[in-house]
Amino acid sequence: MLEKLADLVNGDEALVRRGRHLTGAFLVEARPRAWLVHVLRGRIEKVEEGPFVMPSWRFALRAEEADWQRFWRPRPAPGDHDLLALVRRGLMKFEGDLQPLMANLLYLKAVLEAPRALAAAAGGAR
Rounded (5°) CA angle 37-24-57: 70
**pTM of structure:** 0.89
Whether residue 28 lies inside any domain: the answer is yes
Whether residue 125 lies inside any domain: the answer is no
Residue 48: give the domain boundaries: 5-118
pLDDT at residue 31 in the model: 92
Whether residue 37 lies inside any domain: the answer is yes
Whether residue 114 lies inside any domain: the answer is yes
Whether residue 124 lies inside any domain: the answer is no
Helix (H, G, I), strand (E, B) or coil at 16: helix
Whether residue 123 lies inside any domain: the answer is no
Q: What is the mean pLDDT of each run of 10 residues along the chain (126 residues)?
A: 91 96 97 96 96 93 96 94 96 97 97 87 62
pLDDT at residue 79 in the model: 92
Helix (H, G, I), strand (E, B) or coil at 63: strand
pLDDT at residue 124 in the model: 55
pLDDT at residue 1 in the model: 73
> What amino acid is encoded at 91 in this protein?
L
| Dihedral over alpha carbons 60, 61, 63, 65 (to 10 degrees) | -90
How many domains, in total, are found in the chain? 1
CATH number at residue 112: 3.30.1050.10
Whether residue 92 lies inside any domain: the answer is yes
Phi then psi for 61, rounded to 5 degrees? Answer: -120, 115
> What amino acid is encoded at 73 in this protein?
R
Whether residue 101 lies inside any domain: the answer is yes
pLDDT at residue 65 in the model: 96
pLDDT at residue 117 in the model: 85
Phi then psi for 10, rounded to 5 degrees? Answer: -65, -20
Q: How far apart are CA 81 and CA 88, in angstroms?
A: 12
